[in-house]
Amino acid sequence: MKTLVLDSLSALQTGAELPADLDFANVTVEPPRDPLHGDMATNAAMVLARQAGMKPRDIAQALAGKLLDDPRIASADVAGPGFLNLRLASAVWLQTIPQAIKQGSAFGRSALGAGRRINVEYVSANPTGPLHVGHTRGAVFGDALASLLSFAGYDVTREYVINDGGSQIDTLARSVYLRYLEAHDRPVSFPDGVYPGDYLIPVGQALKERVGAAYLDQPEDVWLQDIRNFATDEMMALIRSDLALLGIEMDVFFSEKSLYGTGRIEACLEALDQKGLIYQGVLTPPKGKEPEGWEPREQTLFKSTEHGDDVDRPVKKSDGSWTYFAPDIAYHYDKVQRGFDELIDVFGADHGGYVKRMKAAVSALTDGKVPLDIKLCQLVRLFKNGEPFKMSKRAGTFVLLRDVVEQVGPDVTRFVMLTRKNDAPLDFDFAKALEQSRDNPVFYVQYAYARVHSVMAKAGNPADSELAAADTAHLQHPAELALVQKLAEWPRLVELAASHHEPHRIAFYLFDLASEFHSLQHLGKVEPEMRFITGDKALSTARLALIRAVAVVISAGLGILGVTPMKEMR
């Protein structure tokens, strides 16, 4: 469509109706906000008016004349200050119906990604316990984003980095050791600084079965390393099973520990050093709020300010050991070396302070060639019957991912988590999630899909081949054409959502599509001649083709979100 407009503009130039040297970069061709204005609108005349030294309306008039030569353009009207409103022949819209039916689940797939390799890292929760609701949003978001990018033509890798290198794993190991003693009927107490959760009880027992009494009354250096590995494996098994409840499967689990002792962190920092970005220095304390016990320390620093960060960041502590940042740089370096063209990290909002330095690191390592996008997911606020539901580890009101999924099911969990932009907080109300009403968008969309199937069954389940061959010219009612236009938006919407890394747009689109469908279906209740199945065989087939296409798109959209379409809801 846009190329058609641009071609017409060039034609006007060769016809000397427009000056030759014009910049078309700002010309847009988009569906107008108000459909009454037409199907497509272009701002070409207003953008070019100044450059061309002509009145906008004159340019628009000339352009309109040119465009009308094309049979696909039904009308072209100049409006307002110089908008050119285009109305497409309805046949242009209607062809999306057979297209959608023939292409099926492939309808709307895009070549946008051009097979570029993109790595989406998400969840990456510390392997110290089961996933809780806070992790759920990032998990669902990352997974839907990965599916979306894949649908848009990217070669996607889903990745989870296991933070198994840090001191929190020591804490985990000690906690498991206490459970191990407990399994041997030794008296134990759980001081501050260990993980008291019940989920470690079976791990302690499993450890007993594996090593018997070997670690009893032994000092820490005998068992710590072994239990670290054992406990981490157990926790990852737990986390994988939690993810499986949501239908999430990772392609790669990357162990942070695997970077230690292999020279890879050193090599990565060496690469930065060669760019002159590593130095010994002393950081100034944060302004305004000096932390208690601040003292200046000489550390190894990364000059992240060269790549957009606010202050330089330490990669080594004053005692010479790595900060967390160092292996994380090395980890991202590893991703780059694995050949990814683009990287995405999905973090919780509490990691907001981390994005600049991570982007700086990737920018430095790749000379800005590999883009890193970091998506922050804001908090999830839990509600029960409208009452805020506070989560607290101490009070034991710690809501697990498992609890949520078991209560409301994976489909509802996923959809609800995606009905908000990632950077806006999300309210999750258990009562509402379970409610099967229009208040709950999941059911609204599912219901539309189920209704299509119901109608199809009533019509004797006509074959796709028959529907694809339907004479769609019978569809003339405004409500029918509105629905067709909504369907035609789908491919463009996929590209927009993918390029913005915003899967929530899919959810909102599906809601709109379902709304158009429900509206049309309802017309049949008011005006019997508008029912999908009528005495007119050709008309019925055309309408069935239309709603079949609706089902195709809903199915594809829900597929991206990871939600199962339901053929029946009773």
In the region spanning residues 396 to 425, those forming contacts with RNA, defined by CB under 7 A, are: 419-421, 423-425
Classify strands 73-79 and 83-88 as parallel, antiparallel or unpaired: antiparallel
The only residue of 41, 63, 88, 360 in contact with RNA, by rule CB under 7 A: 41
Using alpha carbons, list the distances in angstroms from residue 280 to 268, 308, 318: 17, 20, 10
Least gap, CB of 256 to RNA (angstroms): 7
Least gap, CB of 43 to RNA (angstroms): 4
Determine if 394 is a binding residue for RNA (CB under 7 A): no
* 84 contacts 41 by C-beta, under 8 angstroms: yes
Report helix, strand or coil for 510: helix
Q: How far apart are CA 121 and CA 108, in angstroms?
A: 25
* 141 contacts 375 by C-beta, under 8 angstroms: yes
Name which of 183 and 239 has its Cβ closer to RNA: 239
Name which of 181 and 508 has its Cβ closer to RNA: 508
The only residue of 1, 376, 391, 400 in contact with RNA, by rule CB under 7 A: 376
Least gap, CB of 489 to RNA (angstroms): 7
Name which of 69 and 319 has its Cβ closer to RNA: 319
Polymer length in residues for the chain: 570
| The amino acid at 139 | A
Alpha helices in 469-536 (DSSP H): 478-500, 504-526
Identify the residue whose tokens are 């389940």: 461
Provide the 8-state DSSP code for 221: H
Q: What is the CA radius of gyration of the chain?
A: 29
The only residue of 182, 258, 533, 564 in contact with RNA, by rule CB under 7 A: 533
Torsion over CA: 298, 301, 304, 306 (sign): positive
Show the binding pattern over residues 46-75: x = contacts RNA (CB under 7 A), - = does not: xx--x-------------------------
* 418 contacts 506 by C-beta, under 8 angstroms: yes
Determine if 436 is a binding residue for RNA (CB under 7 A): yes
The only residue of 385, 437, 461, 465 in contact with RNA, by rule CB under 7 A: 437
* 111 contacts 467 by C-beta, under 8 angstroms: no
Determine if 262 is a binding residue for RNA (CB under 7 A): no
Name which of 183 and 553 has its Cβ closer to RNA: 553
Q: How far apart are CA 295 and CA 303, in angstroms?
A: 21
Name which of 205 and 515 has its Cβ closer to RNA: 515
Select from 35-43, 222-230, 466-474, 551-559 the region that touches RNA (CB under 7 A): 35-43
Determine if 454 is a binding residue for RNA (CB under 7 A): yes
- Rule CB under 7 A: which of 289-318 touch RNA? 289, 291, 293-297, 299, 310, 314, 317-318
- Rule CB under 7 A: which of 239-258 touch RNA? 256
CA 104 to chain centre: 23
135's tokens: 């992790």
Count of C-beta atoms within a 10 Å radius of residue 354: 17
- Rule CB under 7 A: which of 119-178 touch RNA? 126, 163, 165-168
The only residue of 157, 175, 363, 521 in contact with RNA, by rule CB under 7 A: 521
- Rule CB under 7 A: which of 177-196 touch RNA? none
- Rule CB under 7 A: which of 336-355 touch RNA? 349-355
Least gap, CB of 127 to RNA (angstroms): 10
Least gap, CB of 461 to RNA (angstroms): 12
Comparing CA positions, the residue from 516, 413, 432 lying closest to residue 138 is 413
The only residue of 206, 245, 444, 485 in contact with RNA, by rule CB under 7 A: 444
Select from 26-34, 57-65, 463-471, 550-558 the region that touches RNA (CB under 7 A): 26-34
Q: How far apart are CA 426 and CA 14, in angstroms?
A: 55
